[in-house]
Amino acid sequence: MTRHNSRNHSWTRTSCLTSIFIALTATTGHAQTEGERVEDRAVLDEVIVTARRQSENLQNTPLAVSAFAADELFRNQIEDLGKLQSHVPNLSLHVGDAANAVIYLRGVGQIDSISFNDPGVGVYVDDVYMGRAQGSFLDVMDPARIEVLRGPQGTLYGRNTIGGAIKFVSARPTNEVEGYVEAGYGNYNQVKAKASLSGPIIADKLMAKAAVAHSSRDGYSQNLFDGEDDFDKESNSWRVSTLLTPTEDLSFYLVVDGSKNSPDHSRTPHTETPIYSVPAGGFVAPTDDPFVVNVNYNTLERLKTFGAALTAEYTINDLTFKSITSYREMDYRTKVDLDGIQDASFGIYDFEDQDQFSQELQLIYQGDRLSLVSGLYYFRENDITFAGANAPDFFVTLPVIGVFPYPIINAGRRDQTNTSQAAYAQLKYDATDKLSLTVGARFTKEKKEVTSAGEEFFGTGVTTAEEMEAVFGTGVGYGRTSFTAENDWNSFSPKIGLDYTVNDDVMVYASASRGFKSGGFNGRLTNRAQSFDPETLWSYEVGLKSTFAEKRVRLNMAGFYNDYKNFQLSRFSANPDTGAFESVFENAGKATIWGLEMEMTALLSDALTLDVNAGYLNSGYDEFLGDFGIDVSDARHLVNAPEFTSRANLTYTQELGDAGTLSINGAVSTRSKTYLTVSSSEVLAQDAFALLEAGVRFTSADQKWDVLLSGQNLTNKKYREHGFDLSAAPGVQLGYYGTPRTYSLTLRYSF
C-alpha cells in the first residue's frame, strides 16, 4: 500500500519537536525488531512541484515549499485559499474587509484592501499573476495541486512576491474519459456542488475539460437591524480548458474561467469599543456576541471575474520554448458598514473595475550538469475605482466643544494604469554529483500613472453611492479636488544558492535572495499626489530536505533571516494646513524578521499517519516613523506575524475488505498572540488560541464513491482574524471574526 501526502509540516516548540522524534524513533524501531519486511510496508509517495518553473521532486527543490495535491485538498475540505492557513508554517491567510485576500508569509504581506496598494504575496493561477487582492481569495475548484512558496520569489516570479507566492495549478484535460460529481450540505444551510468532465475530442491530439462549482450558505452573523443574516455567500464558478498536442514536442493549453459571488449582504465587523451616535446623543455599547450586528449599510456585495490564458510549449532536444499569454478582468462592488451600528455614521462603498494583460516568454534548457530558466515578462493593468463615504451622521471630536456633527457624503474616482516589464534568468550548475550552484537575477521596470478626483455631495440631494456615480464630474458636486501623476521604479532582484546532496535521502541548502513590492500613490487622497517607493527585502535561508526510516518519514526544515526595508505603512495624521485628519501611506519602516519552520509526514504504521507543521517568528520594527517623524518602533508589532504557529494531524486508516476503506482524522492547530492592525491595538490583538477539526471518510473499494463527514472549529472558538482601528475617526475599533463551528457531509462519485 502506498500512502500519498504532499504536505510538509512543522511543530511550534523545541520540546514538542523532541517528543515527536522520540516517539517516531521508538515506533519505527519497534516495527523493525518485530521483523517486518520493508517491501511489505507502506512508503511515502514522491511529491512533484513546479516551484522553480520546472517539474521536480519536492525533496530535490532547495527552497521552502508546501504542496497540496487534489486528494489532500478534498480530504481536508480546503474549499478556499483561507483554509490553507493552518497547513503551512508561518502563513496568515484570510478574507479581509472588502473580499480581498489578506496573505502574509513569514510576517510579510499587505493588509490594505484599497486598489492603489499591491499585495506582498503573489497569487498565481496556472502561472498567471493575479493583479488585485480582490478576486485573489480563490475558491478551490478542480485543482491539480496548490503550492505555497515561502520567502521572496524575486527572480523567477518577480512582481510583488516579496513575501512569497501561492500557485494554483488547475487539473489538465486527460486522454481518457473521466470526471466526478460532488454534492454536500452543512450547517448555516451550506450547499455545495461540483462537477468535472474530461476526455479526448481527437485521441492523443486534442483533449478538453470542463468544471463547474456552486457554493452558498447563510451568513455567520445575525443583523438586528433587519432580522437577516450578514456575510452570506452565493458563488458560482466555471472553467473550460483544451489541450492540443499536434506532435509530442508541441502543445497548446488554453484555459478560460469565470466566477460570480453575489450574496445578499457584505461582511460587517463587530464593534469592539463604544461609538458615539449623533442621532442618539450618546455612546452605543458593543453587543456581547461578535456574531450579532446591528447595521444598515451592508446591502451590496458583488464580485465577478473572467480570465483566459494560452500556454504554448515547444521542445527541441534540451531546449523548451514557452509562451504564456493571459487576459483577466474583475468587477467588484460593495457597501461596508464601518460604524458598526444602525446609524449612518460611516458607511463606505467601493466600486472597482480592473483588467489586466500579461505576456511571458520563457527559454528553458536542461542539460546534464547545466540547466537554465530564463524569460521576458510584460504586464499591463487598468483599474478604475469609484469609492467614498456615505455618512450623514458622521462627527468629529473637537477641543472644548466635544462631539460636533460633521456630515459626509463624498466620492472619489481613481483611474490607474500599471505596467511592469522584466527580464530574468536563473542558472543551475551541478559542480559535482552532490554539489549544485544556483545563480539568478531579474531586472524589473515598473510604471504607474494615476488620475484622481474627489467631490462632496452633502446637501445636493444626492444621497446614494449609485447617484454619486451617475453625476460625478457633471457639476452637481462641489469642492472638487484632483491631480494627475506618474512615476516609475527599477528593481534588481538577484539570487544565489548552494545545495548539497548528502545521500539519496538528505539534501541541505543555503541561499540569499532579494524581493521587492511595487511603489505607487496614496489612493485615499484626491487633493495631492503622495507617492511611495517599493519595499525591498533581503532574505537569507538555510534548509534541510530529508526522507528516512526507509521512506516512511519526510522531514523538511528551514531557517531564515529577513532584512526588510522601505516598509510601506498607512496611518492617520493631521493635515498641516487644516488640522483635519487624513490618511497617510508612506515608506515609514524597517524591520528584521528571522524564524524557523518544520514540516513532517510520518507513517507511524501502515494504518496511522502523522502530519505536523510549525513555524517560529522573531520579528520587530527597527524603525517606525509615526506622526511628526517620531520613531515609535518600540511600541509597534508587525501585523499578522504570530510568534508560533502549528498544526498536528493524526489519520487512522482501516481497510474494510471488499467494502472499501475508512479513514478517521483529527487535527489541532495553534497560533500565538497576533496583532491585526498597523497601530498594534491591544483591543484588536488576538490572544493565542487553538482550533480543533476532525473528519471521517469512506472510500469504496473501486475508488468511485467517497463519503466525507468533516467539521472545523469544533469547540466554536470565537477569534479575530482581521481588524480596523478607527480610533482617530470616528472613534471606534472593529473586529472581523473567523469562521465559527461548521460541519458538512459531502458525497462524491468519480468515473
pLDDT, tens digit (0-9, with 9 covering 90-100), for 403-459: 889 999 999 999 999 999 999 999 999 999 999 999 999 999 999 999 999 999 999
Q: In the chain, how many domains are there?
A: 1
Q: Distance of CA 399 to CAs 204, 403, 475, Å?
A: 78, 9, 35
* Cα gap 614→618, rounded to integer Å: 14
Strand pairing category for 301-316 and 319-337: antiparallel
Rounded (5°) CA angle 172-175-177? 95
DSSP character for 203?
Answer: T
Write down the pLDDT at residue 526: 85
Average pLDDT of the chain to the nearest whole number: 91
pLDDT at 4 over 80: no
pLDDT at 21 over 70: no
- pLDDT tier at 666 (50, 70, 90 boundaries)? very high
pLDDT in tens, 701-724: 999 999 999 999 999 999 999 999
Which residues does 576 contact at the CB level (< 8 Å), separation at least 6?
none
What average pLDDT does range 363-374 have in this prediction? 96
How much of the chain exceeds pLDDT 70, in percent?
Answer: 93
What average pLDDT does range 664-691 have in this prediction? 97
Write down the pLDDT at residue 39: 56
pLDDT at 572 over 70: no
pLDDT at 383 over 80: yes
Write down the pLDDT at residue 570: 77
Write down the pLDDT at residue 701: 96
Write down the pLDDT at residue 569: 83
Strand partners, 539: 513, 562
Is-cis flag, bond preceding 730, omega within 30?
yes
* Cα gap 553→8, rounded to integer Å: 10
Write down the pLDDT at residue 112: 82
pLDDT in tens, 292-342: 999 999 999 999 999 999 999 999 999 999 999 999 999 999 999 999 999
CB count, 10 Å around CB of 317? Answer: 9
Domain limits for position 596 = 2-750
Q: Say which CATH number the domain at 99 has.
A: 2.40.170.20
pLDDT at 533 over 80: yes
Write down the pLDDT at residue 717: 98
Q: Could you tell me which residue, 476 or 570, shows the higher pLDDT?
A: 476
- pLDDT tier at 528 (50, 70, 90 boundaries)? confident
What average pLDDT does range 682-693 have in this prediction? 98
Write down the pLDDT at residue 15: 40
What average pLDDT does range 617-630 have in this prediction? 88
Write down the pLDDT at residue 333: 96
What average pLDDT does range 16-45 have in this prediction? 47
Cell, residue 223: 443583523
- pLDDT tier at 5 (50, 70, 90 boundaries)? very low
- pLDDT tier at 41 (50, 70, 90 boundaries)? confident
Q: Could you tell me which residue, 630 or 473, shows the higher pLDDT?
A: 473
- pLDDT tier at 575 (50, 70, 90 boundaries)? low
Which of 215-229, 269-283, 409-423, 621-635 shows the lowest mean pLDDT across its residues?
621-635
Q: Could you tell me which residue, 198 or 132, shows the higher pLDDT?
A: 198
Pick from 640, 671, 665, 637: nearest CA to 653 = 665
Write down the pLDDT at residue 479: 95
* Cα gap 330→308, rounded to integer Å: 12
Helix (H) or strand (E) holding 74: helix 70-75
Write down the pLDDT at residue 30: 36
Helix (H) or strand (E) holding 471: helix 465-471
pLDDT at 583 over 90: no
Write down the pLDDT at residue 573: 58
Cell, residue 425: 534568468
- pLDDT tier at 467 (50, 70, 90 boundaries)? very high
- pLDDT tier at 644 (50, 70, 90 boundaries)? very high
pLDDT in tens, 84-111: 999 999 999 999 888 889 999 999 998 8
Write down the pLDDT at residue 124: 95
How much of the chain exceeds pLDDT 90, in percent?
Answer: 81
